[in-house]
Amino acid sequence: MNTMTLLRARLQKPDASAPRCAPPSRAPLVALVIGLVACTLLPQHASLLTRVFITALLVLSLDLAVGVAGLATLGHAALFGVGAYAAGIFALKVMPDPLVGLGIGVAAGALLAFASGAFLLRYQGFTFLMLTVAVAQIVLSLAQKARDWTGGDDGLSGFTVRPLLGRFVFDLEGRVAALYALAVLVIALYLLRRLVDSPFGLAVRGIHENRARMAALGTPVYARLLVLYTVAGAVAGAAGALSAQTTAVVGLDSLSFALSAEALVMLILGGAGRLTGALVGATVFTLLHHTAASINPYHWLFVVGILLMLVVLVPPAKAWAWLRSRVGAGS
Q: Cβ neighbours of residue 228 under 8 Å, at least 6 residues apart?
A: 64, 65, 68, 69, 204
Burial (Cβ within 10 Å: 0-12, 13-18, ≥19) of residue 17:
middle
Among 137, 116, 132, smallest CA distance to 226 is for 116
Q: Is 9 in the site for other proteins (CB under 8 A)?
A: no
- Nearest approach in angstroms of CB 224 to other proteins is 7
Q: Which stretch binds other proteins (CB under 8 A): 33-41, 174-182, 204-212, 242-250?
A: 204-212
Q: Is 317 in the site for other proteins (CB under 8 A)?
A: no
Chain positions 257 to 286 lying near other proteins, rule: CB under 8 A, are none
C-alpha span between 34 and 152 (Å, rounded) = 38
Q: How does DSSP assign 141-209, residue by residue?
A: HHHHH-HHHH-GGG-EE----PPBTTTB---TT-HHHHHHHHHHHHHHHHHHHHHHTSHHHHHHHHHHH
Name which position in 9, 18, 34, 94 contacts other proteins (CB under 8 A): 18
Q: What are the phi and psi torsion angles at 218 (to 5°)?
A: 95, 15
- Nearest approach in angstroms of CB 20 to other proteins is 10
Q: Which stretch binds other proteins (CB under 8 A): 33-41, 203-211, 238-246, 284-292?
A: 203-211
DSSP 8-state assignment for residue 254: G
Q: Is 202 in the site for other proteins (CB under 8 A)?
A: yes
C-alpha span between 187 and 185 (Å, rounded) = 6
Q: Is 70 in the site for other proteins (CB under 8 A)?
A: no
- Nearest approach in angstroms of CB 47 to other proteins is 34
Angle at 7 between CA 6 and CA 8, to 5 degrees: 90
The size of the interface with other proteins (CB under 8 A), counted in residues, is: 29
Q: How does DSSP assign 265-303, residue by residue?
A: HHHHHH-TTSSHHHHHHHHHHHHHHHHHHHH-TTTHHHH
- Nearest approach in angstroms of CB 111 to other proteins is 19
Q: Is 5 in the site for other proteins (CB under 8 A)?
A: no
- Nearest approach in angstroms of CB 17 to other proteins is 4
Q: Is 316 in the site for other proteins (CB under 8 A)?
A: no
Nearest CB to other proteins, comparing residues 160 and 198: 198
- Nearest approach in angstroms of CB 266 to other proteins is 23
Among 269, 125, 118, 270, smallest CA distance to 208 is for 125
Q: Is 194 in the site for other proteins (CB under 8 A)?
A: yes
Q: What are the phi and psi torsion angles at 116 (to 5°)?
A: -75, -35
- Nearest approach in angstroms of CB 61 to other proteins is 16
Name which position in 212, 258, 295, 317 contacts other proteins (CB under 8 A): 212
Q: Which stretch binds other proteins (CB under 8 A): 17-25, 115-123, 233-241, 255-263?
A: 17-25
Nearest CB to other proteins, comparing residues 4 and 216: 216
Cβ proximity of 69 and 76 under 8 Å: no
Q: Is 197 in the site for other proteins (CB under 8 A)?
A: yes
Name which position in 74, 203, 236, 311 contacts other proteins (CB under 8 A): 203
Question: What are residue 294's DSSP bridge partners?
Answer: none
Q: Is 201 in the site for other proteins (CB under 8 A)?
A: yes
Q: Is 14 in the site for other proteins (CB under 8 A)?
A: yes
The site for other proteins (CB under 8 A) is made up of 14, 17-19, 21, 24, 194-195, 197-203, 205-206, 209-210, 212-220, 224
